[in-house]
């Protein structure tokens, strides 16, 4: 008899991110929608993913494409209806897929009724629902805090004669989580979607919920410590040590309240986005340690511009083991905010295969971004086609995020790639049509089929999904480790470059595993890997 739902389904899960505007358009308006997602869920299931994460589909002015929420308990008409969402949820569950939705709690749209009321005066019931502060005596903003989208993170309100905080667009005012009523409302919103049947949440900007109540200035960050993984290098946001506008010590207490709500349900889970270039791993530890906060977080470690070497992977894994030995990471190479990693790291299909195999072998869960399984490169978007306000703000040094958000190519014999019967909201590039799903379906050695085989391999070996990790060899172009779980040990070795690598084989009676790689030569105590190859072997207890 079954013991009920698996409350640990998220541990080692492969989560497929769907950007709804660009996955599948069902009504010909050029923008993807919920019915389109439902129609294409078979693709995700056939890939072998365990869950989907759907980026925001709530009502919104769409100034930041859904991350500026104007109503939390509904669906924007652009994407469909609540009935469409219920149908999507039912079909996903029928296919064995969990459904996580992107919950944007740190800020709303300035078109949200809460903000309109809060802005009206200083005495209304929601006057303290957002972060308001008086100007300095000279009229300048209360602090030196900067917006990720450029400029000060404070905007003047003529109605209240005060500044309000916005860590992103001026049209995205930050909620005041120091107000218990705001926290209570956020918890009720979570219950609304959990009652509807979702399996959990991806929490946007999980480390931005609280600001420093004393409104202290951020100190400068030395140039050698600046990281461009959160904001582009051309943005002086990276010049500050963000001690006071985010990453505040009050955050874990709210996460405990939210986790208590999730624990009221059979098997709901959280993956939090930690947007920080300096303290990502430490925050991940603070937010996932124990059993009373987020189950897992991902930071921006492997979303960086430079391709991670084997040495870099080892450093990160060592750091995670040191600061968060009992926590759980969620790793990603690409998402809707960064240049696709095939382009960012200059990878061909061979490199994409090896890096994917490594991602799917790390201790932690995995997020795959739509089109990653096709090896889609970043798209060069002409200035006149840019939609992203981020790109418009920093053009031409930074061209925004549209290049990773173009529509999913399903077929090659259609200018819109089977995405829409109308004109897509972003161009469908010809080079993506060459990598369309239908074309790769017909090519057994394609990257798409590799991802399927690799996910199936991971599913057959619990050590790869849930096991402990011990590094056995490292170098700039190589990495090897052992994953251990139950009665299985799995040895994983990777050549991350164009030169042959010889890696020490740990002692033991290893049996080469049925992984989707070939060409490896083994001796009694070494493994020789050709360029861009991986090797897997296993030992069962008693072997």
- State pLDDT tens for residues 388-397: 998 898 888 8
**Burial tier of 527 (Cβ tally within 10 Å: 0-12, 13-18, 19+):** buried
Instruction: Find the distance separating the first CA and the last CA of the chain, reported in whole Å.
Output: 31
Answer yes or no: is pLDDT of 160 > 60.
yes
Q: Quick check: is 337 catalytic?
A: no
| Cα 501 to Cα 353: distance, rounded to the nearest angstrom | 17
Q: How confident is the model at residue 2 (pLDDT cuts 50, 70, 90)?
A: low
Question: Where does the pLDDT of residue 148 fall: very low under 50, low under 70, confident under 90, or very high at 90 and above?
Answer: very high
Pick the catalytic residue from 134, 250, 264, 292.
Answer: 264
The first and second tokens of residue 27, run together, are: 């009504």
Q: How many CB atoms lie within 10 A of CB 241?
A: 15
Check whether 232 has a pLDDT greater than 90: no
Residue range 300-333, pLDDT digits in tens = 899 999 999 999 999 999 999 999 898 899 999 9
Q: Which residue has the higher pLDDT, 234 or 496?
A: 496
CA 166 – CA 359 distance, rounded (Å): 34
Of 341, 393, 25, the C-alpha closest to 234 is: 393
pLDDT of res. 415: 93
Looking at residue 518, its pLDDT comes to 80
Mean pLDDT calculated for residue range 141-165: 97
Q: Average of pLDDT values for 139-147?
A: 98
pLDDT digits (tens, 9 = 90+) for 332-351: 999 999 999 999 999 999 99
For 230-244, 421-435, 463-477, which range has the lowest pLDDT when averaged over its residues?
230-244
pLDDT at site 378: 98
Domains of the chain: 14-106+180-456 (3.20.20.80), 467-540 (2.60.40.1180)
Phi, psi of 117 (to 5 degrees): -70, -45
DSSP track, 206-268: GGGS---TT-PPPPB--GGG---SSS-TTSGGGGB--SSSS--TTHHHHHHHHHHHHTTSSS-
Closest of 457, 406, 456, 458 to residue 435, by C-alpha: 406
Helix (H) or strand (E) segment spanning residue 157: strand 154-157
Say what the pTM is: 0.97
Residue 373 is among the residues annotated as catalytic for this protein: no
Q: What angle do CA 166, 170, 176 make, to 5 degrees?
A: 30
The predicted pLDDT at position 300 comes to 85
The C-alpha atoms of residue 442 and residue 328 are separated, in whole angstroms, by: 37
With residue 101 as reference, give the H or E element that holds it. Answer: strand 98-103
Question: Which entry of 33, 68, 204, 276 is annotated as an active-site residue?
Answer: 204
Question: Using one digit for the tens of pLDDT, what is the confidence trace for 515-527?
Answer: 999 877 777 799 9
Structure tokens belonging to residue 401 = 């995020």
Tens of pLDDT, residue by residue over 26-69, are 999 999 999 999 999 999 999 999 999 999 999 999 999 999 99
| SS3 (DSSP) at 97 | coil
For residues 22 and 37, what is the distance between their CA atoms, to the nearest angstrom?
10
pLDDT of residue 331: 97
Look at residue 1 in the predicted model and tell me its pLDDT: 40
* pLDDT bucket at 542, cuts 50 / 70 / 90: low
Is the dihedral angle over the CA atoms 183, 185, 191, 194 positive or is it negative?
A: negative
- What integer is the mean pLDDT of 524-536? 93
């Amino acid at each position: 008899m079954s013991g009920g739902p698996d409350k640990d389904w998220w541990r080692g899960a492969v989560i497929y991110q769907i950007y709804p505007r660009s996955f599948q358009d069902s009504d010909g308006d050029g923008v993807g929608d919920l019915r389109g997602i439902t129609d294409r869920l078979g693709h995700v299931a056939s890939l072998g993913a365990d869950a989907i994460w759907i980026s925001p589909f709530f009502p919104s002015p769409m100034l930041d494409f859904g991350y500026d929420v104007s109503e939390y308990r509904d669906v924007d008409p652009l994407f469909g209806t609540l009935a469409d969402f219920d149908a999507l949820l039912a079909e996903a569950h029928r296919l064995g897929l969990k459904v996580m939705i992107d919950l944007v709690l740190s800020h709303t749209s300035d078109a949200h009724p809460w903000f309109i009321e809060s802005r009206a005066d200083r005495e209304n019931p929601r006057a303290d629902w957002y972060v308001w502060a008086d100007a300095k005596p000279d009229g300048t903003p209360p602090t030196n805090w900067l917006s990720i989208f450029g400029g000060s993170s404070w905007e003047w309100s003529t109605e209240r004669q005060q500044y309000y905080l916005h860590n992103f667009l001026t049209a995205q005012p930050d909620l005041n989580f120091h107000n218990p009523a705001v926290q209570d409302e956020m918890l009720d919103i979570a219950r609304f979607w959990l009652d509807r049947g979702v399996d959990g949440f991806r929490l946007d900007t999980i480390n931005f919920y609280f600001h420093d109540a004393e409104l202290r200035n951020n100190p400068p960050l030395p140039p050698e410590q600046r990281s461009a993984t959160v904001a582009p290098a051309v943005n002086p946001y990276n010049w500050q040590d963000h001690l006071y506008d985010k990453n505040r010590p009050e955050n874990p207490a709210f996460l405990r309240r939210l986790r208590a709500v999730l624990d009221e349900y059979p098997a709901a889970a959280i993956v939090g986005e930690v947007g920080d270039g300096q303290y990502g791993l430490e925050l991940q530890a603070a937010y996932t340690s124990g059993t009373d906060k987020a189950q897992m977080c991902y930071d921006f470690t492997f979303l960086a511009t430079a391709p991670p070497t084997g040495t870099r992977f080892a450093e990160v894994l060592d750091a995670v083991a040191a600061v968060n030995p009992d926590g759980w990471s969620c790793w990603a190479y690409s998402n809707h905010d960064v240049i696709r990693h095939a382009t960012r790291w200059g990878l061909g299909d061979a490199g994409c295969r090896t890096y994917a195999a490594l991602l799917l072998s790390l201790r932690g869960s995995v997020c795959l971004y739509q089109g990653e399984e096709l090896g889609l490169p970043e798209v060069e978007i002409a200035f006149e086609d840019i939609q992203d306000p981020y790109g418009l703000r920093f053009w031409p040094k930074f061209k925004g995020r549209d290049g990773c958000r173009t529509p999913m190519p399903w077929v090659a014999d259609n200018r819109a790639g089977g995405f829409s019967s109308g004109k897509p909201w972003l161009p469908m590039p010809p080079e993506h049509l060459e990598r369309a799903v239908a074309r790769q379906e017909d090519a057994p050695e394609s990257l798409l089929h590799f991802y399927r085989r690799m996910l199936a391999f991971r599913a057959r070996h619990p050590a790869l999904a849930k096991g402990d990790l011990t590094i056995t060899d490292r170098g700039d172009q190589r990495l090897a480790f052992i994953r251990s779980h139950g009665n299985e040990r799995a040895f994983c070795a990777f050549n991350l470059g164009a030169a042959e690598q010889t890696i020490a084989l740990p002692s033991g009676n290893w049996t080469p595993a049925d992984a989707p790689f070939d060409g490896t030569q083994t001796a009694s105590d070494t493994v020789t890997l050709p360029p861009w190859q991986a090797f897997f072997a296993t030992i069962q207890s008693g072997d």
